[in-house]
């Protein structure tokens, strides 16, 4: 089991601070994402927080938009907007909605939440880079339940056809959807072979192992003629033992004070 270091705990504390006021949010899906996002923004993506529309920036799309609590925490940590804005989450005048919206918050490349849309958008953005001879890279994170959507696989075929080696898909494979396991709802296995059959180079990694993620990202693209799919084995609710692997923590509303306190206690 991967042990969380201080930085991973600090980012989770930011997530708790986001939900503390309104007492609701997709906590479980955010917790499985944090290390992937952390390494992307610490070590891989090229970006300028004070110039979010810089033309040569790498493009990141969180296709599983319901995991936005983790993205908001990382973007605030990186200076795209003030951390003091985090507690406004889901309030009427807030820029931080239950799903991310392009044009409202700096650092958001696409409005996502209707599942299955992020990879098709990413394919278009990556193809545009090729046509315009720009060097930016495109990264998309999908949920495992999300890839039940047929649009994901249509986009995958297109990515392979156009040899989009500048495109990487990270699958947050926590094996738990909103109301049950992926195996029960619609079994994804053999997942790596599925992506290979669509023409992707495929890697698998512990999605909470920061060192393993860093080493893998240094090797991207894996193949100069193909897009890459990285299957990240993660735990829904990671960091909170009472929430780990529990479908009822996919989304929580009316969080109790003792639940907020318990989350903070896990991150001391």
For the stretch 106-162, pLDDT in tens is 999 999 989 999 999 999 999 999 999 999 999 999 999 999 999 999 999 999 999
Tell the burial category of 150 from Cβ atoms under 10 Å away from its Cβ (0-12, 13-18, 19+).
Answer: exposed
Q: Which uninterrupted H or E stretch holds 138? A: strand 138-143
Q: Is residue 1 part of a domain?
A: no
The answer, yes or no, to whether residue 246 has pLDDT greater than 90, is yes
Q: Which domain holds residue 57?
A: 6-266
Q: Average pLDDT for residues 236-256, to the nearest whole number? A: 96
Q: 25: alpha, beta or left, given left = phi > 0 and alpha = psi -120 to 50?
A: left
Longest Cα–Cα distance of the chain, Å, equals: 54
Distance of CA 79 to the CA centre of its chain: 18
Angle between helical axes of 118-132 and 150-161 (0-180°, round to 10): 20
**Domain at 24, CATH number:** 3.40.50.970
DSSP state of 201: E
Residue 89 to residue 55: CA distance in whole angstroms: 29
Say how many C-beta atoms besides its own lie within 10 A of residue 189's C-beta: 10
Q: Average pLDDT for residues 87-101, to the nearest whole number? A: 96
Report the mean per-residue pLDDT for the chain. 97
Number of structural domains in the chain: 1
The answer, yes or no, to whether residue 236 has pLDDT greater than 80, is yes
Q: Average pLDDT for residues 161-190, to the nearest whole number? A: 96
Six-digit token string for 12: 């989770």
Report which of 268, 193, 199, 255 is spatially closest to residue 69, judged by C-alpha positions.
255
Q: Is residue 152 part of a domain?
A: yes
Q: Is residue 11 part of a domain?
A: yes
Residue 101 to residue 99: CA distance in whole angstroms: 7
**Token pair 């610490």 in the structure block, residue:** 42
What is the pTM (predicted TM-score) of this model?
A: 0.97
Q: Residue 66 phi/psi, 5° resolution? A: -70, -10
For the stretch 44-87, pLDDT in tens is 999 999 999 999 999 999 999 999 999 999 999 999 999 999 99
Helices (H), the chain: 6-22, 27-31, 34-39, 68-77, 118-132, 150-161, 182-186, 191-197, 210-218, 257-266
């Amino acid at each position: 089991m991967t042990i969380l270091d201080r930085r991973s705990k600090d980012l989770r504390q930011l997530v708790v601070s986001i939900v503390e006021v309104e007492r609701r949010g997709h906590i479980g899906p955010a917790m499985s994402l944090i290390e992937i996002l952390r390494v992307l923004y610490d070590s891989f993506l090229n970006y300028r927080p004070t110039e979010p529309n810089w033309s040569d920036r790498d493009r990141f799309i969180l296709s599983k938009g319901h995991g936005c609590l983790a993205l908001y925490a990382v973007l605030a940590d990186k200076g795209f907007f003030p951390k003091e804005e985090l507690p406004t989450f889901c309030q009427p005048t807030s820029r931080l909605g239950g799903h991310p919206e392009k044009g409202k918050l700096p650092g958001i490349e696409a409005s996502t939440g209707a599942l299955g849309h992020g990879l098709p958008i990413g394919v278009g953005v990556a193809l545009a880079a090729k046509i315009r001879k720009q060097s930016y890279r495109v990264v998309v994170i999908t949920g495992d339940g999300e890839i039940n959507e047929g649009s994901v696989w249509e986009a995958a075929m297109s990515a392979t056809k156009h040899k989009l080696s500048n495109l990487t898909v990270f699958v947050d494979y926590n094996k738990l959807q909103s109301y049950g396991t992926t195996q029960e709802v619609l079994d994804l296995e053999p997942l790596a072979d599925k992506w290979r059959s669509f023409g992707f180079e495929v890697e698998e990694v512990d999605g909470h192992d920061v060192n393993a993620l860093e080493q893998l990202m240094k090797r991207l693209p894996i193949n100069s003629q193909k897009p890459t799919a990285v299957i990240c084995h993660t735990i829904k609710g990671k960091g909170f033992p009472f929430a780990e692997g529990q479908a009822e923590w996919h989304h929580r509303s009316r969080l109790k004070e003792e639940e907020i306190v318990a989350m903070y206690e896990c991150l001391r």
